[in-house]
Structure 1
Amino acid sequence: MPHTAFAKICFYIVAHADDWQLFMQPNAYEDLVAPGTKVVFIITTAGDAGNDQAFWSAREEGCKSSIRFCLAPLTDLTESSGSVEINNHLINYWSANNCVIYFLRLPDGNLDGSGFQRYNNQSLTKFRAGEFLTITAVDNSSNYDSWENFDTTIQSIIQDESGSIPDIWVNFLSPHTTINPNDHLDHIATGLAIEQMAMISTYRQAAFVGYSVHNTPIPLSPDQLFWKAGMFAAYEKAVYDLSGYSTIRESASTYLKWTLSSARYTVLNP
């Protein structure tokens, strides 16, 4: 996607459409509203949970709604969407002002990496382990014939979006269980792909904690809590309105703990 003159660009590379709202706040919000900063989200899986397009496309719309909640109070939104070819893969995107989201739509791997029958039990975990020689997007928009091909595609998005922007940040969920225990295996696989990128050592990085973020909670300020809770509420409402599915119903107590917790992360400089 073409870019204008920004001083800083921040990538948030996650497996699912609600990961960055739950586990990367207030960082993502502060980057979204910072002058001179471009923010790019790369969502590696469809987050389908074995469901059809009505569900996973609702999750994408929820992700967009979270962005609108953050940006609309600042100014009018200019939105666009479509697909773009990157590294010989057709990838769906949506943009609004200084933000772009790429949806790779690879199959959700389930908590344990076993995948779901609807999509032939494919998963990033199995793909990386060589149990599948290829992995195909749930909408058949693209097919990856090696783990390296998947990895270089993420790298290509970073290079294309960064252009000549001098300050580049890559934010992701840590794949290391000593730092980030009991996390979703899609989170782990996505983190491993990022760490294995050829150019990762040239970027500033922040490696976040996922599911266990509430184990040692860091309190959010009232303002931070307002924006975090609001963006997840915007996500929840969009998903429910479009699919009839309530994410919070999975475990209201867990989502409450996650929402009340500030991000925990480690910064790595080049």
Structure 2
Amino acid sequence: MKKFFLVLLRFFFGYGQRQFVPYAASPTPTIIKNNKAIQNISFFIVAHPDDIELFMGKEARHQVLNSDIERKVFIVLSAGDANRKNRKKPFRKVSWWQAREQAHTTAISFWNDHKNEVFEQEITINGRYITEITIGSDISLYNFRFPDADKNTSLAELVYLEKDSISDLAHQQRYSLEDIKQSLIEIIELESKYAQRASFYIMDCDHERNPDDHKDHQATSLIVLDILPKLSIKEKSLSGYLTYFIKTKPINLEGEDREKSFETWALMGEVLDCCGYKKNDDEHHMQWVGKEYKSFSIQPDHDLDEINNLNKLRIQNK
């Protein structure tokens, strides 16, 4: 009963209705990306809307600020719905996964000092609709919005060949594992068409270096490893980061990097709160804030054996 009256009070005082909007959404971007001018491009490809901020936020923020990297692309495969699907709490305008996605977009915009407008549009990739969010002329976010690993069909089940297909939450479009790979290839080729060098950042799926990781973290990285040799970009590099394993490791970011890590996570919590959901400032999440542990960095064009060894993890992790 107490919780009911609390919700009712929040509704009357506007809590349940307010929505944090750090940008003016527009269906049609007015900024045209000039891909012909690109020499360097980076791709951060992860499973959940907060994986980049938690596990590779320092690297991503520095690249957002680096004008020598002409394009920065952030790709998230899962909606991070944690089996909540599209269910909304009473009086909330957006669902849980939409709130998490807004928090992710706000974090990237924060790293960019909110100096550019943020535009959202639906584009067609591999015959399917997908959301692209642009921040200025050099930052793009692509959100596939697949179900998060829980009771739903997950990316991991596709990678380990336990299921044949998965549907996104926004449009209920069916994807096979090969469909996902082809869609990623099309996005990467579209963005890097004229680039000379592309850097890829993923979560380390090696079970020895990064044990007990989320199965969709591993699945996402294995998908990336599989498509890397198929990409036409001339020069490629690949970096991997530790994830859940670092919870017992000390905070290793210093100075401004440490400050921005905590500020970023606090801002994302404010977005969730303004959408009517609990902030992720609990002990479970805070054990990773202020940390970043890179586990490997390789040149796929010269270290194909290393890529092949990593790909074998699909069998070892199953």
* TM-score clears 0.5: yes
User: CA 1:34–1:93 in 2, change beyond 3 Å: closer, same or farther?
Assistant: same
Distance (whole Å) between structure 1 residues aligned to residue 221 and residue 290 of structure 2: 24
Gaps of 5+ in 2: 1-31, 87-94, 302-318
Equivalent residue in structure 2 for 1:62, among 103, 111, 115: 103
Worse-matched range after superposition: 135-144 or 255-264: 255-264
CA distance, structure 2, for counterparts of residue 26 and residue 170 of structure 1: 15
User: 1:81-127: CA deviations, max 9, x gaps?
Assistant: 11111122211111102211100000101xxxxx32xxxx2111112
Q: Which deviates more from structure 2 when the two are superposed, residues 29-38 or residues 237-246? A: 237-246
**Are the aligned partners of 2:99 and 2:271 in contact in 1 as well (CA < 8 Å)?**
yes
Letter in 2 for 1:238: V
Shift of 1:255: 2.9
Secondary structure at 1:103 match in 2: strand
Task: Name the count of aligned residue pairs.
Answer: 255
C-alpha distance in 2 between matches for 1:188 and 1:108: 13
Rg bigger for which structure? 2
- Structure-1 residue corresponding to 2:41: 9
**Paired residue for 1:94, among 102, 109, 133?**
133
d(CA) in 1 for partners of 2:43, 2:133: 15
Alignment gaps of 5+ in structure 1: 110-114
- Stretches of 4+ aligned residues off by more than 6 angstroms: none
Shift of residue 248, structure 1, vs aligned partner: 2.3
AA in 2 matched with 1:72 = D
* C-alpha separation in 1, matches of 2:271 and 2:203: 24
Report the counterpart of residue 170 of structure 2 in structure 1: 139
- Secondary structure (helix, strand or coil) at the match of 2:266 reads helix
Aligned to 1:103: 143
Contact 2:46 2:217 in 1 (8 A): yes
What are the Cα deviations for residues 131-161 of structure 1, in whole angstroms up to 9, with x where unaligned?
A: 22111001235221x2122112112211111
RMSD: 1.9
Match of 1:35 in 2: 67
Per-residue CA distance 1:55-81 (angstroms, 9 max, x = gap)? 0000110001101211126xx313211
Deviations 1:190-209 (Å, cap 9, x if unpaired)? 01101111436952110111
1:257 to 276, 287, 299: 287
How far has the Cα of 1:268 moved from its partner? 0.7
Amino acid at match of 1:67: I
Q: TM-score, normalised by structure 1?
A: 0.88
Query: Aligned to 1:177, what secondary structure does the other structure show?
Result: coil
- Is 1:229 the counterpart of 2:272? The answer is no
Task: Please say if residues 48 and 79 of structure 2, whose CA atoms lie closer than 8 Å, have aligned partners that are also in contact.
Answer: yes
Distance 1:138 1:25 in 2: 26
